[in-house]
Amino acid sequence: MVLAHSEEAESRQKTGWLPLAGIVLAVFMLMLDATVVTVALPAMGRDLGGDLADLQWVVNAYTIAMAAVQLTAGALADRYGRRRLFLIAVAGFAVASLACGLAPTVAVLVAARVAQGLAGAAIFATTLALIAQCYTGAARGTAFAVRGTTAGIAVVLGPVVGGVLTDSLGWRWIFFLNLPVAAAAILIGRAALPRRERLERGRRIDVAGPILWGTALVGIVYGLLGSTARGWTDPYVLGSLAVGAVTAVLFLVIERHLAAPMLDLRMFRSRRFVGTQIGSFTVQASIFGLLVYFSVYFQDQLGDSVIEAGLSFLPIVIPIMVAGAAVGPFLDRISPRLAVGAALTLIGAGLLLMLGVTTHTGLHHLITGMILTGIGCGIGLPALGSLAVDVPPAQVGIASGVNNTALQFGLAVSIAVYGAVLGTFPPTAAGFADALNHLIAIGAATALAGAAVTAVLLRASRRHTRS
């Protein structure tokens, strides 16, 4: 270890809120880019000459790249420094964003989106760890709440921002907007993020782990995303899933026998750690995977414009902000079982209240359920973020990487499953409304099952003692 306990504690007390400002800017930029392109795809196709199959990879390439290297980024952060990796990653994200905005072809745009995803994974993997490093007690709870709330809001507001920029300035400004945001995050980070960290020095570098894990995640996520368009029996889908499964098993076998593995599998002996990952997966899989289909419903079924559809998500966004701000200062005093269980129960109950959608029901039918769901997300996201890094200080990077992988995997799985279910219904307005009710029911069942499982796993858990 390269930092004494007293020095680390002293550095935490002197940080103030400026480090959080830099972290939040980077998180907002990162999560906004996950959904901001969805409404701009038709304009991209007209300018670059790509068809729908090509343009889908503008979204998928970013998701796959982020999911594939979360663990690797977390391990590198623990070894070489979270501050250093954060600053490099934000700069890399800015360069990749510039390349996206200047892309002359779909192929170049997709390649630049891969680069964005790789840099984004490093940003996402370090932000939880940096918050855990900078703050303690109630301040840490508040910081996690701000970070979780920011991420949720950015995902939901992405289509609104994308629609406004595409209509007013053109789709390329979706990416150019990242440049000043990244510059501000770098300037704040360089000035405010603490330079002293407890790192894992002197360990041999695990080369096989990152390669196998990246291959496994790419295979699984590629197969899941491809199943929506190709079907579950398509050879490419089955082949991708098989490659992902085999390399995942090899990864676990090799990591178990290495003296210095990228992922210490002993972390999963903790019921608390496992419960946190299940909770994170189910929050993403239950509600955030549904947002894509709600957006289609608002625009295609109800005739809303892109901006109107985005504003229709405010009944989720505002409760996320309010609940996150309210619960943050008390996270260190609330039972993890109560916080996570209550959050997932509220999400499940809110989704159940949304059932009964038809081709004519509007926002008034959904609003009560959306508010409850937003409150659940506002409680759950910061609570799970806090739990995710409640590990020994030298392991916060890899723990954050595991948690972010669970989040990304939950989103990818839910979109694939929901898309496959949607494909079994007639391609009519009534068929879509009927399918949406089934998707809502699946989301509710996922959230309530997650509430039950995490209640059991977190019941007997204890907080890790941190200096």
Q: What is the pLDDT of residues 99-138, one digit of tens each?
A: 999 999 999 999 999 999 999 988 887 887 788 888 877 7
Whether 464 is covered by a domain: the verdict is: no
pLDDT at res. 242: 94
Distance of alpha carbon 110 from alpha carbon 95, whole angstroms: 14
Q: Which of 222, 257, 292 is the last residue of a domain?
A: 257
Residues 192 and 221 grouped into a single domain: no
Mean pLDDT of 440-457: 93
Residues 266 and 125 grouped into a single domain: yes
**In the predicted structure, residue 416 carries a pLDDT above the cut 80:** no
> What residue numbers bound the domain in which 214 lies?
207-257
Give me the half-sphere count of Cα atoms (radius 13 Å) on the Cβ side of residue 230. 17
**In the predicted structure, residue 13 carries a pLDDT above the cut 70:** no
Whether 136 is covered by a domain: the verdict is: yes
Whether 466 is covered by a domain: the verdict is: no
Residues 359 and 452 grouped into a single domain: yes
Whether 407 is covered by a domain: the verdict is: yes
Residues 185 and 213 grouped into a single domain: no
pLDDT band at 394 (very low <50, low <70, confident <90, very high): low
Length of the chain: 467
On average, the pLDDT of the chain sits at 82
Residues 335 and 281 grouped into a single domain: yes
Residues 272 and 297 grouped into a single domain: yes
Report which residue type is found at 170: G
Percent of the chain with pLDDT over 70: 90
Mean pLDDT of 247-266: 83
Whether 465 is covered by a domain: the verdict is: no
Mean pLDDT of 253-268: 80
Whether 467 is covered by a domain: the verdict is: no
Residues 249 and 304 grouped into a single domain: no
Question: With helix as H, strand as E and coil as C, how does 100-159 read?
Answer: HHHCCCHHHHHHHHHHHHHHHHHHHHHHHHHHHHHCCHHHHHHHHHHHHHHHHHHHHHHH
Whether 391 is covered by a domain: the verdict is: yes
Alpha helices in 169-300 (DSSP H): 173-176, 178-192, 208-230, 235-257, 271-286, 291-296
Mean pLDDT of 27-46: 82
Mean pLDDT of 274-279: 91
Residues 251 and 145 grouped into a single domain: no
Whether 333 is covered by a domain: the verdict is: yes
- CATH classification of the domain holding 345: 1.20.1250.20
Residues 70 and 158 grouped into a single domain: yes
Mean pLDDT of 426-442: 90
Residues 343 and 263 grouped into a single domain: yes
Q: CA nearest 65: which of 19, 26, 123?
A: 123
Q: Which of 257, 275, 295 is the last residue of a domain?
A: 257
Percent of the chain with pLDDT over 90: 25
**In the predicted structure, residue 409 carries a pLDDT above the cut 60:** yes
Q: Which of 390-399, 415-424, 437-446 has the highest mean pLDDT?
A: 437-446
Q: What is the pTM of this model?
A: 0.77
pLDDT tens digit string along 46-101?
888 876 667 777 877 887 788 778 778 877 777 778 888 999 999 999 999 999 99
pLDDT tens digit string along 350-391?
999 999 998 888 888 999 999 999 999 988 888 888 787 777
Tokens at 136, concatenated: 């303690």
Residues 111 and 253 grouped into a single domain: no
Distance of alpha carbon 231 from alpha carbon 229, whole angstroms: 6
**In the predicted structure, residue 11 carries a pLDDT above the cut 50:** no
Q: Which of 240, 257, 274 is the last residue of a domain?
A: 257
Residues 154 and 87 grouped into a single domain: yes
Q: Are 317 and 371 in contact (CB under 8 A)?
A: no
Domain count, the chain: 2
Distance between first and last Cα of the chain:
14
Mean pLDDT of 18-30: 90
Q: Which of 9-18, 248-257, 286-295 has the highest mean pLDDT?
A: 248-257
